[in-house]
Chains A and B, each alone.
Chain A
Amino acid sequence: MTAVTPPVRARRPRLSPLARREARWAALFLAPWVIGFLIFYAGPMAASVWLSLTEYDVINAPRWVGLDNYRQLVDDRMVYRSLGNTVYYTALHVPLAMAISLTLALLLKRVGRLQGFFRTVFYLPVMTPAVAVGILFLLLLNAQDGLINRALGLVGVDGPNWTTDPGWVMPGIIVMSLWSLGSTVIIYLAALQNVPREIYEAATVDGASAWQQFRHVTLPMISGALFFTLIVNTIASLQMFTEVYTMYFGNRATQGAFNSEAAAFYVIYLFQQAFQFLHMGYASALAWLLFIVIMIITYIQVKVGNRFVYYEGDR
């Protein structure tokens, strides 16, 4: 809390008692966050950098190993596998979720009175606990008796072994992930409803076709929301954990089976290294690699995105 007061004193050396009281209260209001920041962000970040340079199993004192963890990481096949899986998932989930959400939001915008009902229907999966989602889709994706393959069977398609064929595990996870896109739908709907109707009217007067209106009015006007969901969903996808962990990991009987490599997400691998094998040092190095990957991807998205995003007003 002292972090805030010194500059106040430094710049205004002759503070009135009243102003001094105000400064004290300002510090008091900010104190919880500053303390929390030091304990749960700044401290852990520093500790994590240091830990990543050690070997530490919680029981024995950390042993300094320099850059060994980072060298090990470069040679670790599972790092490539899990990172590859994660990026593959993200590259498919994010655009698909955005496209489907936008379609649904565009439809929702036009149905008038029933909008609230449909919005609820699309949002309820988001309320479902992720563990329950994992369980539910483990059964829906079941090759023999699952609902999804039964539905495919109705249209004459012989559904794949979603949960056991390594090549189909990831597509199955993506199918599951698309069930919970309700938040994105609501964000798009809110953005669509903010587009002033006059713009469409003007476009209609100018003879713009429906497609031209969508392309040149709707898309630019909601580009802020699209950009936001792109970034947020990407960051979240790169940290996918709960549903997949529920389905394929943490169970002694099935762990290490056929599909555990095909379903390995980066954060799951990191979690196992840290809390199953107690390789705290190595896991810390893994965490920093994830941090860098996320930063790079977000940076690229922001750079590219800023070219396409239309900010209302003067940014």
Chain B
Amino acid sequence: MSTLVEGTTAVAVPPLEPAPAKPPRDGEPGWRRALFLVALAVAAVVFTIPFIWLVSASLRPREYVFAPGFLPVPFAPENYNEAWAAVPLVTWLFNSVLVGVAAAVAVTLSSAWVAFGFAYFRFPGRNVLFGLVLATMMLPFAVTMIPTYLIWNEAGLTDTQVPLWAGNLFGSAFYIFLLRQFMLSLPRELFEAARVDGAGYPTLFWRIAFPLIRPALLVVLVFEFKASWTDLIKPLIYLRNEELFTLPRGLKVVLDRFGYGGEQQWEVVLAGSVIATVPMIILFFLAQRHFIEGIATTGRRG
């Protein structure tokens, strides 16, 4: 709980743009900085090689997938046509976008709404209730997984995409926490002034709090979209019909059908993996600042 106290005093997270190049510290020779750069470059190569190999191998003919070297020679872009033709990748891509957008928008709106409740109103038992919100973060997914499945099953909604996002309509503990922090950093006079002018509570939320915490909302939006895009376990539990699969679930099918124990058409599996990964890489470059800020904020909880 001590973390909370610390958090409430924190104002909006400063953007984590790379610090302007500082002059080397007194006594830190240039050669040492060069050494650091070399070490980092080596690490960067190690972290990048898997990507390079993935893309390059996905562009080689089947018998060359494991060939040495990092260049796509012989060049076989038709692997991608083959992958598109072999499995309904377009449908899965579309499903992933649909579910991802629904999940992200739902959790952002509902978490912001609830966060406003915790940030603006003062009522007895508020801290206890907020403690309960945080406590739900500690509960392993495995404990609620089975009864939650039974609920959706009872509702007749298994083998639909609804369970993949509908739970997000009720807010999510970590996001509520994050957004509340940002709302608490807004000057209260802003709201009081609007109240005096006769604004109702929904107006306070929608016209004042919501636009002012936009950066934090974007953090939630991109994080949840990414979480939804990469999730395997929920589609694994809820979906049977291949037409409804999201990309990770579909990719698992591709692996099982074309990988070991399957037809050993690794070029198809690799092309599928690239197709599932590229949108996330693009998302990162579009929303880099929000991802980095989001992660750094997570750490600040500590």
In the complex, the chain A residue whose C-beta lies closest to that of B46 is A179
Q: Contact check, B51 vs A124: say whether CB atoms are below 8 A apart.
A: yes
B11 interface residue per 8 A CB criterion: no
Give the distance in Å from the alpha carbon of A53 to the alpha carbon of B50 in the complex.
46
- Which residues of B212-250 have CB atoms within 8 Å of chain A's CB atoms? 226, 229-233, 236-237, 247-248
A241 interface residue per 8 A CB criterion: yes
Partner of B54, one of A25, A45, A136, A254: A136
- Which residues of B100-150 have CB atoms within 8 Å of chain A's CB atoms? 110, 113-114, 116-118, 120-121, 123-125, 129, 132-133, 136, 138-150
Q: Would A120 and B50 be within 8 Å (CB), given that A26-B123, A130-B248 are in contact?
A: no
Give the distance in Å from the alpha carbon of A145 to the alpha carbon of B233 in the complex.
30
Give the distance in Å from the alpha carbon of A253 to the alpha carbon of B256 in the complex.
8
Give the distance in Å from the alpha carbon of A135 to the alpha carbon of B171 in the complex.
33
Partner of B232, one of A33, A124, A235, A242: A242
A157 interface residue per 8 A CB criterion: no
Q: Contact check, B146 vs A104: say whether CB atoms are below 8 A apart.
A: no
In the complex, the chain B residue whose C-beta lies closest to that of A251 is B256
Q: Contact check, B2 vs A311: say whether CB atoms are below 8 A apart.
A: yes
Question: Which of A72-80, A91-99, A284-292 forms contacts with chain B?
Answer: A284-292
Q: Contact check, A36 vs B167: say whether CB atoms are below 8 A apart.
A: yes
B83 interface residue per 8 A CB criterion: no
Partner of B170, one of A40, A187, A294: A40
- Which residues of A236-290 have CB atoms within 8 Å of chain B's CB atoms? 238-239, 241-242, 245-246, 250-254, 267, 270-271, 274-275, 280, 283-284, 286-288, 290
B262 interface residue per 8 A CB criterion: yes
Chain A residues near B167 (CB, 8 Å)? 36, 40
Give the distance in Å from the alpha carbon of A144 to the alpha carbon of B25 in the complex.
48
Q: Contact check, B295 vs A186: say whether CB atoms are below 8 A apart.
A: yes
Give the distance in Å from the alpha carbon of A108 to the alpha carbon of B136 in the complex.
35
B29 interface residue per 8 A CB criterion: no
Chain B residues bordering chain A, tally (CB within 8 A)? 106
Q: Contact check, A290 vs B140: say whether CB atoms are below 8 A apart.
A: yes
- Flag B250-273 by CB within 8 Å of A: 1 or 0 each: 011001100111100010011001
Main secondary structure of the interface of A (DSSP, over half): helix
Q: Would A128 and B280 be within 8 Å (CB), given that A48-B146, A136-B50, A228-B301 are in contact?
A: yes
Q: Contact check, B256 vs A288: say whether CB atoms are below 8 A apart.
A: no
Q: Contact check, A253 vs B299: say whether CB atoms are below 8 A apart.
A: no
Q: Would A8 and B123 be within 8 Å (CB), given that A239-B142, A274-B145 are in contact?
A: yes
B151 interface residue per 8 A CB criterion: yes
Q: Contact check, A123 vs B292: say whether CB atoms are below 8 A apart.
A: yes
Question: How far in angstroms is the closest Cβ of chain B from A67?
Answer: 18
Q: Contact check, A4 vs B129: say whether CB atoms are below 8 A apart.
A: yes
Main secondary structure of the interface of B (DSSP, over half): helix
Give the distance in Å from the alpha carbon of A154 to the alpha carbon of B173 in the complex.
49
Give the distance in Å from the alpha carbon of A252 to the alpha carbon of B65 in the complex.
24
B188 interface residue per 8 A CB criterion: no
Give the distance in Å from the alpha carbon of A284 to the alpha carbon of B142 in the complex.
8
In the complex, the chain B residue whose C-beta lies closest to that of A29 is B117
Q: Contact check, A190 vs B296: say whether CB atoms are below 8 A apart.
A: yes
Q: Contact check, A187 vs B298: say whether CB atoms are below 8 A apart.
A: yes
Q: Would A313 and B251 be within 8 Å (CB), given that A124-B284, A147-B49 are in contact?
A: no
Q: Contact check, B147 vs A47: say whether CB atoms are below 8 A apart.
A: yes
Q: Would A127 and B280 be within 8 Å (CB), given that A41-B144, A186-B292 are in contact?
A: yes
In the complex, the chain A residue whose C-beta lies closest to that of B119 is A29
Q: Would A241 and B26 be within 8 Å (CB), given that A4-B129, A45-B144, A287-B145 are in contact?
A: no
Question: How far in angstroms is the closest Cβ of chain B from A232?
Answer: 8
Q: Contact check, B295 vs A187: say whether CB atoms are below 8 A apart.
A: yes
Question: How far in angstroms is the closest Cβ of chain A from B172?
Answer: 9
A150 interface residue per 8 A CB criterion: yes
Partner of B123, one of A4, A142, A187, A312: A4
Q: Would A275 and B237 be within 8 Å (CB), given that A44-B148, A138-B259 are in contact?
A: yes
In the complex, the chain B residue whose C-beta lies closest to that of A230 is B302
Chain B residues near A124 (CB, 8 Å)? 47, 51, 281, 284
Q: Contact check, A30 vs B129: say whether CB atoms are below 8 A apart.
A: yes
Question: How far in angstroms is the closest Cβ of chain B from A195?
Answer: 12
Which of A33, A183, A298 has the most chain B CB atoms inside 10 A of its CB? A33
Question: How far in angstroms is the closest Cβ of chain B from A68?
Answer: 17
**Which B residues are closer than 8 A to A by beta carbons?**
2, 5-6, 16-22, 25-27, 33, 36-37, 39-40, 43-44, 47-51, 53-54, 57, 65-66, 68, 110, 113-114, 116-118, 120-121, 123-125, 129, 132-133, 136, 138-151, 153, 167, 169-171, 176, 201, 205, 226, 229-233, 236-237, 247-248, 251-252, 255-256, 259-262, 266, 269-270, 273, 276-277, 280-281, 283-284, 288, 291-292, 295-296, 298-302
